Every structure is written in C-alpha cells, then in structure tokens.
C-alpha cells in the first residue's frame, strides 16, 4: 500500500507520453504567393480542414474585380467588394473540393474586409447564395482592416470545416 509520500511523489512525477506525428494533408492552388510567403491554401488534420485566407484571384493568379487605386496606391473605392466576395467563395469551394468537402462542411468563417459598410451590404446576399441557405449554419465574424496582402484586394476569408 503506497504511503502518502509515495502517492504525492507519483502525482508530481511527469510521465513520458509517446507522441505520434501529426498527419497533415496539404493542398494548394500553385499560386506564386504560396511559395513566396511559404504557406498552404488548406490543411486537413483528422476531421478538420483549415483553409487559409482566400481571395478573389482567378486560375492564373489575376485579381478578379481588382479595386481601383489612387495615385498613392490606396484603394479609391470599394465598389468591387461583391465581385471579389463571390470569387473568394468560389475559390473556397474549389480548395474544399480537394478534400471532397463543400461549404456545407464549413463551421466557421472569418471575413477580413477593407470597408465594413460595403462588405456588410454585399455579405448577406452573397453568403446566402454561396451557402445555399437564407440562414447559413456557420459561425461568422467580419473584421475591417486598412489593408490586406495585395494592394487591390478588398476581402479575404478564412474557413474551418469539419468532415467525417
């Protein structure tokens, strides 16, 4: 029978735990900025897919609905927000399909936008269409920021999806 001192020592003695390496399934689009910045478009670990911030580029890496810039390189207007948002959701669908997943599997999204008013006006209709529901079952956060990665970029959306 252990003494009180032995029981206390056993509680305080760390046990060695064998860790299995984390298995990651990584996907990308082959865009130049994936290598320049050094990241994956999406990573699946077990039943969770983590999708890096998606933006509104086409298959060749050209910005769809690029925001017009003023002479100092600042965004002149945000009128292409809806165009960029639609393409961003299309890109998210494309990368999720690499894992046989869809937007139906998304449980959380975070939208980063350069103008809250314009984004908020576009987000309702675009999100409802993208998710195919009048009330998408997705936890959603929208955050305004003065600038995103590319000068003509108005929106970036990151996603977390769960699959079985």
Which sign does the torsion angle of CA 146, 150, 155, 161 carry? negative
pLDDT tens per residue, range 104-148: 999 999 999 999 999 999 999 999 999 999 999 999 999 999 999
Residue 104 in domain? yes
pLDDT tens per residue, range 140-160: 999 999 999 999 999 999 999
Residue 12 in domain? no
pLDDT tens per residue, range 34-82: 999 999 999 999 999 999 999 999 999 999 999 999 999 999 999 999 9
Distance CA 112, CA 100 (A): 26
Residue 17 in domain? no
Supply the range of the domain harboring residue 105. Answer: 23-162
Contacts 24+ apart (CB under 8 A), 67-72: 67/114, 67/151, 67/152, 67/153, 67/154, 68/152, 69/151, 69/152
pLDDT (0 to 100) of residue 18: 73
Residue 13 in domain? no
Burial class (CB in 10 A: 0-12, 13-18, 19+), 142: middle
| CATH for 36 | 3.30.1330.40
Residue 128 in domain? yes
Residue 1 in domain? no
Residue 46 in domain? yes
DSSP assigned state of 27: E
Non-local CB neighbours of 164 within 8 Å, separated by 6+ positions: 47
pLDDT (0 to 100) of residue 4: 64
Residue 113 in domain? yes
- Look at the chain and report how many structural domains it folds into: 1
pTM of the predicted protein model: 0.86
């Amino acid at each position: 029978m252990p003494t009180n001192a032995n029981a206390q020592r056993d509680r305080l003695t760390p046990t060695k735990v064998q860790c299995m390496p984390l298995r990651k399934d990584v996907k990308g689009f082959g865009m130049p900025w994936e290598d320049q910045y050094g990241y994956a478009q999406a990573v699946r670990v077990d039943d969770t897919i983590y999708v890096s911030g998606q933006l509104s580029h086409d298959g060749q890496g050209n910005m769809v609905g690029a925001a017009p810039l003023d002479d100092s390189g600042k965004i002149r207007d945000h009128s292409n927000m809806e165009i960029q948002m639609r393409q961003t959701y299309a890109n998210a669908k494309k990368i999720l399909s690499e894992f046989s997943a869809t937007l139906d599997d998304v449980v959380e999204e975070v939208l980063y936008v350069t103008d809250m008013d314009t984004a908020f006006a576009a987000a309702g209709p675009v999100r409802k269409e993208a998710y195919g529901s009048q009330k998408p079952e997705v936890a959603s956060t929208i955050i305004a920021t003065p600038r995103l990665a590319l000068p003509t970029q108005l929106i970036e959306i990151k996603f977390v999806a769960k699959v079985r």
